[in-house]
Amino acid sequence: METNVAAQGTGSALPGAKRRMPPEFSIFLVLIGIALVYEILGWIFVGQSFLMNPQRLTIMILQVAVIGIIAVGVTQVIITGGIDLSSGSVVGMTAMFSASVAQASTWPRALYPSLTDLPAIVPIGLGVGVGLLAGFINGQLIARTKIPPFIATLGMMVSARGISKWYTKGQPVSGLTEQFNFIGTGIWPVIVFLVVAIIFHIALRYTRYGKFTYAIGANVQAARVSGINVEAHLIKVYAIAGMLAGLAGVVTAARAQTAQAGMGVMYELDAIAATVIGGTSLTGGVGRITGTVIGTIILGVMTSGFTFLRVDAYYQEIVKGLIIVAAVVIDVYRQKNRKKA
Amino acid sequence: MTLSPTTMAAVRASGAVPNAEYLLNVEGIRKEFPGVVALDDVSFRLRRGTVHALMGENGAGKSTLMKILAGIYTPDKGEVRLKGADIRLKSPLDALENGIAMIHQELNLMPFMTVAENIWIRREPKNRFGFVDHGEMRRITARLFDRLKIKIDPEIEVRHLSVANRQMVEIAKAVSYESDVLIMDEPTSALTEREVAHLFEIIRDLRSQGIGIVYITHKMNELFEIADEFSVFRDGKYIGTHASSEVTRDDIIRMMVGREITQMFPKEEVPIGNVMLSVNNLTLDGVFRDVSFDVRAGEILGIAGLVGSGRSNVAETLFGVTPASSGTIAIDGKTVSIDSPNTAIRNRMAFLTEDRKDTGCLLILDVLENMQIAVLQDRFVKGGFVAEKDITAACEEMSRKLRVKTPNLQERIENLSGGNQQKVLIGRWLLTNPRILILDEPTRGIDVGAKAEIHRLVTELARNGVAVIMISSEMPEVLGMSDRIMVMHEGRVTGILDRAEATQIKVMELAAS
């Protein structure tokens, strides 16, 4: 541990004496690399450009925007050293709840006939609120009972899926108002994703909330002794993650113009994958929203590229699994090297 | 002639073991850890059929020596002879197979397995189908317990046993290896008087069978009751070996502390102010009881005591890490209820913990993030946003003042030396502008230069009217720095000494009482 860094020290702190490359840079290079590989393969096998196709790129980013919204919350959870497996089910549950108060009076089989044609803010608020509540319960379980986050959110994952099926006895909810559907149209989901990303990028980097989040992930004991109310903070972090999953549920329903109990299945894994690919360490204390945004886009490019090359969907899943494992292996390797250094 | 452990085991099995007078003969052992010499030219002999106590203060080197004997550490230099033959132990298992068994303070039994399974693990008797023969296992366990006069059901799961009974199981396990050497690390620390009596009976029994027992203890009366001989260590050096019938308590204490205080401490007389912290009958059930003391502004109160005396626990309770079961804490005359570190900080207390890595550093974060984390509770934050410029400037000034050696504040704290890490953590607390500063082993594991700087800093803080509580295992540090010294033993305050009357011997007497 007695490295020469200390020995060579100047005796005073010189800010910025050593400029370090932001860690996102290498992830960004990976993204560029993958895109270029597709570009070359595209010309060889399909006879067209992968990148010079704005329509494809738009579809690609739209496909992952919802995952990205979830991943912004998951990133914060993972920075504290936790995990959230419930986000996919929370998407399904909040999609159902919000859609049920977003139906138009013109729809003959409205779930709540007296609650039709409401302004869009009501279903959006309900979806986000239900997500927040689910996350708050996760946080309470983890902070108060000290059960591992894996188990607490696994329970929420199963229960929330059950609630979404129970809510309409498995029936889809359709006939949603134009106003509600609007946030799912065009480029809006991407805008929601980017706004969310910017907000929490700022929150993590420049607010006390962010500093405490990293501190808890780096060393929870030290964080507690430094006066941080660890329990209260964890509840906040999980509630935010739930809220963002709720927002993702609203966007999913609006985009599909309908809600089904099976929405969002496996989204939690995609969100975790995007986070980990983006450089957030599963051991906690390390990670940035910018990395997660790039990780999300990498996921999108991978999927879109496979479709572009007409690779079978089965292979896509197999490769996605490998990439997730590879990202974690790289992280473990990085941690080990760090300790040796 | 150096025998490999396997050869040694074969020799043992053949029964042709040389009948040397000394079971163990250790000479010129040296063991270094990064930055410290734990043992320096240490020798030690264990006679057949005797109980040999190891005595010394915390950090004297007893544990290191014992771990070398048990195969946990390998020495850098020196020889270990087992019954006259040179031996180099590679692992605890290696030691066990050569007849050296160690009973750790924290017992190593598997709670959800039965007593018999725990004893014979890895050596279970098998039936002809290769499955474990539970009947046979029960019989050999019963036979073993008979021999040791232990009354425990071999079929019961270990988790149902009391600490004393677990200890008996550990001893039985060690004996089942037909060990010649048994190492016991403070075996009575968790036992009642009756259990201790039973343990001693077993020890005497084993002794009469020719087994040699290395017995580590802090308790003087035990030494005279059970040990035939004892060796004293101090600061990693071997001081001497005597028969326990030849000496008095005072002789031993003198041997344990008989160093000269050569280090200089920048203690200066500063005006002592009003009582800042007043602690009354503070109790944490099962850990410490009825701790009462005052600390005045500008005063340094040292807390001395052996490991396990409850020193650090008192500090943790004062700071709300483990809130008290009963008793009161008053700051500036007002009774306060401290139920978390957060409320302690709000009462302008600060706590430098004992374990830099476990409860101090945010290792993977940088110096700035490490230093600012406590003060962000109530300063340098506007509307949730951290005032980056101000806090960075404050941290820079602090690291300049404390002379933290780091290329910049963006360096990860884990890349700094121990002394500089400690300075960053001290900086973390000084930024909160504390009135009461609790330091738990502030100079442990750091080099002499940084040590002196920290001592100077503590003195300066006292001069500025901070009430300082300093826990330290280093006697010269406690004696050199403190205005008064509170000594603890087994969760109780055994005395509070004034600077003028405090000597190493007096402190040691109170700590070992």
The yes-or-no verdict on residue B349 having pLDDT over 60 is yes
| Confidence (pLDDT) at B198 | 86
Strand order in the sheet with B100-103: B85-86, B77-82, B22-33, B36-47, B237-243, B229-234, B51-55, B212-216, B181-185, B100-103
Chain B (358-397) residues lying within 8 Å, Cβ to Cβ, of chain A: 358-365, 367, 369, 372-374, 376-377, 381, 384-386, 388, 392, 395-396
How confident is the model over B57-75, as a mean pLDDT?
85
Give the gap in angstroms from C-alpha B415 to the nearest C-alpha of chain A.
6
Backbone angles phi, psi at B485, to 5 degrees: -125, 125
A5-33 pLDDT, tens digit per residue, is 333 333 333 344 445 567 778 889 989 99
The yes-or-no verdict on residue B500 having pLDDT over 70 is yes
pLDDT grade, residue A271 (50/70/90)? very high
Domains and their CATH numbers in chain B: 5-257 (3.40.50.300), 272-348+434-513 (3.40.50.300), 360-433 (no CATH)
| Confidence (pLDDT) at B3 | 47
How confident is the model over B244-253, as a mean pLDDT?
84
H/E run at residue B279: strand B275-284
Whether B341 contacts B322, CB under 8 Å:
no
Between the CA of residue B107 and those of A107, B124, B157, B168, B447, what are the distances in Å?
A: 71, 21, 15, 11, 33
Of B402, B499, B416, the residue nearest B454 (C-alpha) = B402
| Confidence (pLDDT) at B56 | 81
Of B94, B68, B52, the residue nearest B182 (C-alpha) = B52
The rounded percent of chain B whose pLDDT value lies above 90 is 41
Identity of residue B165: N
Facing residue for A285 by CB, picked from B365, B376, B404: B365
| Confidence (pLDDT) at B426 | 94
Facing residue for A227 by CB, picked from B362, B374, B418: B374
Facing residue for A219 by CB, picked from B362, B377, B416: B362
pLDDT grade, residue B16 (50/70/90)? very low
Give the gap in angstroms from C-alpha A199 to the nearest C-alpha of chain B.
13
Q: Do B359 and A1 touch (CB under 8 A)?
A: no
Facing residue for B405 by CB, picked from A6, A16, A286: A6
The yes-or-no verdict on residue B194 having pLDDT over 70 is yes
- Minimum Cα–Cα distance from B346: chain A residue: A227
Count of CB atoms situated within 10 Å of the CB of B376: 23
Q: Do B365 and A223 touch (CB under 8 A)?
A: no
* Contacts A–B by Cβ distance under 8 A: 137
Residues of A in contact with B345 (CB under 8 A): 227
The yes-or-no verdict on residue B498 having pLDDT over 70 is yes
Taking the C-alpha atoms of residue B347 and residue B378, their distance in angstroms, rounded to an integer, is 12
Between the CA of residue B135 and those of A75, B110, B140, B156, what are the distances in Å?
A: 55, 20, 9, 14
Pair of tokens at residue A263: 């929405």
pLDDT grade, residue B10 (50/70/90)? low
Helices (H), chain A: 4-7, 24-41, 54-79, 87-100, 121-145, 149-167, 178-182, 188-206, 208-218, 220-225, 230-256, 267-277, 289-308, 313-340
Taking the C-alpha atoms of residue A110 and residue A100, their distance in angstroms, rounded to an integer, is 8
H/E run at residue B509: helix B504-512
Taking the C-alpha atoms of residue B372 and residue B395, their distance in angstroms, rounded to an integer, is 7
Whether A267 contacts A66, CB under 8 Å:
yes
A133-182 pLDDT, tens digit per residue, is 999 999 999 999 999 999 999 999 999 999 999 999 989 999 999 999 99
Chain B (29-48) residues lying within 8 Å, Cβ to Cβ, of chain A: 34-35
Strands B300-305 and B467-471: parallel
Which CATH topology does A49-340 take? Answer: ABC transporter involved in vitamin B12 uptake, BtuC (1.10.3470)
- Minimum Cα–Cα distance from B363: chain A residue: A218
| Confidence (pLDDT) at A18 | 43
| Confidence (pLDDT) at B6 | 53
- Minimum Cα–Cα distance from B426: chain A residue: A226
Q: If you ran DSSP here, which 8-state letter would residue B159 be given? A: G
Facing residue for A222 by CB, picked from B359, B377, B411: B359
The rounded percent of chain B whose pLDDT value lies above 70 is 92
Please report the beta strands in B34-88, taking only residues with DSSP state E, as ranges in sequence order. 36-47, 51-55, 77-82, 85-86
A109-125 pLDDT, tens digit per residue, is 888 888 888 898 999 99
Residues of B in contact with A215 (CB under 8 A): 362, 365, 369, 373
Contacts of B276 (CB under 8 A, 6+ apart): B295, B296, B297, B331, B332, B435, B436, B467
Residues of A in contact with B388 (CB under 8 A): 206
How confident is the model over A211-225, as a mean pLDDT?
96
Taking the C-alpha atoms of residue B57 and residue B75, their distance in angstroms, rounded to an integer, is 21
Could you tell me if B407 lies within 8 Å of chain A, comparing CB atoms? yes
Could you tell me if B411 lies within 8 Å of chain A, comparing CB atoms? yes
The yes-or-no verdict on residue A108 having pLDDT over 60 is yes
Q: Do B385 and A227 touch (CB under 8 A)?
A: no
Give the gap in angstroms from C-alpha B372 to the nearest C-alpha of chain A.
9
Alpha carbons within 13 angstroms on the beta-carbon side of residue B495 total 14
B98-130 pLDDT, tens digit per residue, is 889 988 776 788 989 999 999 998 888 888 888
Q: Do A8 and B341 touch (CB under 8 A)?
A: no
Residues of B in contact with A208 (CB under 8 A): 376, 381, 384-386
| Confidence (pLDDT) at A33 | 92
Residues of A in contact with B361 (CB under 8 A): 219, 222
Q: Do B376 and A211 touch (CB under 8 A)?
A: yes
Q: Do B406 and A3 touch (CB under 8 A)?
A: no
Give the gap in angstroms from C-alpha A287 to the nearest C-alpha of chain B.
11
| Confidence (pLDDT) at A13 | 38
Residues of B in contact with A7 (CB under 8 A): 405, 417
Of A269, A264, A339, the residue nearest B357 (C-alpha) = A339
Can you spell out the DSSP letters for B192-255?
-HHHHHHHHHHHHHHHHTT-EEEEE-S-HHHHHHH-SEEEEEETTEEEEEEETTS--HHHHHHH
How confident is the model over A197-222, as a mean pLDDT?
96
Characterize B385-403 residue by residue with b for buried, 16 or more Cβ atoms within 10 angstroms of its Cβ, and e for exposed.
Answer: ebeeeebbebbbebbeebe
Range scoring the smallest mean pLDDT among B3-17, B323-337, B355-369:
B3-17
Facing residue for A206 by CB, picked from B388, B406, B416: B388
Using a 10 angstrom Cβ sphere, with 0-12 exposed, 13-18 middle and 19 or more buried, the burial of residue A171 is middle
Facing residue for B400 by CB, picked from A2, A8, A12: A12
Q: Do B407 and A17 touch (CB under 8 A)?
A: yes
Please report the beta strands in B75-179, taking only residues with DSSP state E, as ranges in sequence order. 77-82, 85-86, 100-103
H/E run at residue B282: strand B275-284
| Confidence (pLDDT) at B357 | 85
- Between residues A264 and B254, the one the model is more confident about: A264
Facing residue for B345 by CB, picked from A212, A222, A227: A227
H/E run at residue B277: strand B275-284
Residues of A in contact with B364 (CB under 8 A): 218, 285-286, 338
The rounded percent of chain A whose pLDDT value lies above 90 is 64
Taking the C-alpha atoms of residue B67 and residue A258, their distance in angstroms, rounded to an integer, is 68
Facing residue for B361 by CB, picked from A5, A207, A222: A222
Whether B43 contacts B220, CB under 8 Å:
no
Pair of tokens at residue A88: 């996919």
Residues of B in contact with A20 (CB under 8 A): 410
- Between residues B18 and A306, the one the model is more confident about: A306
Of B41, B107, B110, the residue nearest B79 (C-alpha) = B41
Alpha carbons within 13 angstroms on the beta-carbon side of residue B419 total 20
Q: Do B410 and A16 touch (CB under 8 A)?
A: yes
Residues of B in contact with A5 (CB under 8 A): 406-407, 411, 415-416
Of B450, B429, B485, the residue nearest B299 (C-alpha) = B485
Mean pLDDT (chain A) is 89
| Confidence (pLDDT) at B62 | 85
| Confidence (pLDDT) at A20 | 58
Q: If you ran DSSP here, which 8-state letter would residue B358 be given? A: I
Whether B22 contacts B48, CB under 8 Å:
yes
pLDDT grade, residue B263 (50/70/90)? low
Q: If you ran DSSP here, which 8-state letter would residue B103 be given? A: E
The yes-or-no verdict on residue A339 having pLDDT over 70 is no
Rg (CA), chain B: 26
Q: Do A224 and B321 touch (CB under 8 A)?
A: yes
ipTM: 0.83
Category of B305 on φ-ψ map: left (φ > 0), alpha (ψ -120 to 50) or beta:
left
pLDDT grade, residue B266 (50/70/90)? low
B137-161 pLDDT, tens digit per residue, is 999 999 999 988 888 999 999 988 8
Give the gap in angstroms from C-alpha B325 to the nearest C-alpha of chain A.
19
Taking the C-alpha atoms of residue B45 and residue B82, their distance in angstroms, rounded to an integer, is 10
| Confidence (pLDDT) at A325 | 86
Residues of B in contact with A331 (CB under 8 A): none
Whether B397 contacts B409, CB under 8 Å:
no
Mutate to test the interface with B, among A225, A228, A280, A282 (most CBs of B within 10 A): A225
B368-421 pLDDT, tens digit per residue, is 999 999 999 888 988 889 998 999 999 999 999 888 888 889 888 988 878 889
Strand order in the sheet with B334-336: B288-296, B275-284, B326-331, B334-336
Facing residue for A10 by CB, picked from B407, B417, B418: B407
Taking the C-alpha atoms of residue B228 and residue B458, their distance in angstroms, rounded to an integer, is 44
| Confidence (pLDDT) at A336 | 73
Q: If you ran DSSP here, which 8-state letter would residue B338 be given? A: -
Between the CA of residue B363 and those of A222, A230, A258, B59, B188, what are the distances in Å?
A: 10, 18, 48, 26, 37
Taking the C-alpha atoms of residue B480 and residue B488, their distance in angstroms, rounded to an integer, is 18
